[in-house]
Structure 1
Amino acid sequence: MVFNVILLIVLAICVITDLKSRLIYNKVIFPALLLSILLHIFFDGLSGLGFSLLGFLVGFSILLIPYFLGGMGAGDVKLLALIGAAKGPMFVLHTSIYMALIGGVLALFILIFSGGAFKRFKYYVYCLFVRKNGVYVPFALTKESMKKTYPYGVAIAGGAVISLIGKAWIL
């Protein structure tokens, strides 16, 4: 129960800061991480420490490759690692599945409702039609379109909340 309260408070703060400034602050993550590890040690001793560290490593490793590829911020990686440290490895695995589903839906909505989505779609259909007739037209991906970001902390928090209240009711 204590870990759920800590997690919900941290998730609420991270969602707000991620929506406002596209940042998840270390001054929120690190104290909660330390508190989670210390509480696991207090309640369960060394086995609690192992449980918390294993959850941390699983959560950290899930988003590490997307971070190195430039598709994820470091705050998102640390937030998922915190979720693992607070609730354990199986919880963070369930969270990551829900997080991916929510993130995909969120990305789809942003793609559809951002400016120029219909224009890009029309361009790609045209390129495919022209390519079918033997003319090569490269896909036009501008640097601006590749720099679009969205607050993935919202998807992480949504996945954690679904895992908290659902007990894997979607899977």
Structure 2
Amino acid sequence: MWTHIVLLIVLSICVITDLKNRKIYNIVIFPAMVFAFLFHVLSDGWAGLGFSLLGFTLGLAILIIPFLMGGMGAGDVKLLALVGALQGAEFVFSAAVYMALIGSVMALAIVLFKDGIRERLQFAGFILICLRFRIRPNLQGYWTTGAYPYGVAIAGGAAVCLWLKGWGAG
């Protein structure tokens, strides 16, 4: 239960800072990370440490490639790793599935409701034509730039998992 409370507090803070400043701060993540490892070690010894490390590693692994390719911020990677350290590998894997779904809906909404919808639809048609005729278009510039607060999707995925798995579980 304590891990759930810490997780919800951290997720709430990270959603606010990610929406406001597009940042997830280490000052929030690192103390919670220390708590996660200490809590699991003190409650289950070596098995607890293994539980926390496995969750941390899986959370890190899920987002490390998008981060290395420049599509994800380091704060997002650390936040998902924290989710894994607090809740374990099974939880972080499930949360990542919901995170991806929520992130996809967010991206679609941004594309549809951001200025220039007509140009975006024309660009999508252009890409489809290029794919059909195996032409490689130059995708650099306006169409590939822009970020959105993926911490919101991470928090949403973790919150959905907490809700579906039940507050008292874990």
Residues 55 and 86, structure 2, Cα contact 8 Å, conserved in 1: yes
Select the residue among 130, 142, 148 that pairs with 1:150. 148
Change (3 A) 1:46 1:147: same
Which amino acid letter does the alignment assign opposite residue 164 of structure 2?
Answer: G
Residues 76 and 153, structure 1, Cα contact 8 Å, conserved in 2: yes
Give how far 1:143 is off: 1.7
Q: Give 1:165's aligned residue.
A: 163
Give how far 1:157 is off: 0.2
Distance 2:130 2:44 in 1: 65
Q: Give 1:35's aligned residue.
A: 35
| Deviating more after overlay: 139-148 vs 79-88 | 139-148
Q: Give 1:73's aligned residue.
A: 73
| TM-score of the pair, normalised by structure 2 | 0.89
Segments of structure 2 that go 5 or more residues without pairing to the other structure are none
Pairwise CA RMSD: 2.4
Change (3 A) 1:39 1:126: closer
| TM-score of the pair, normalised by structure 1 | 0.88
Segments of structure 1 that go 5 or more residues without pairing to the other structure are none
The higher-RCO structure (CA 8 Å, 6+ apart) is: 2
Structure number with larger C-alpha Rg: 1
The alignment-based identity, stated in percent, is 53
Give deviations 1:44-73, integer Å, cap 9, x for gaps: 111101110111001000000011111111
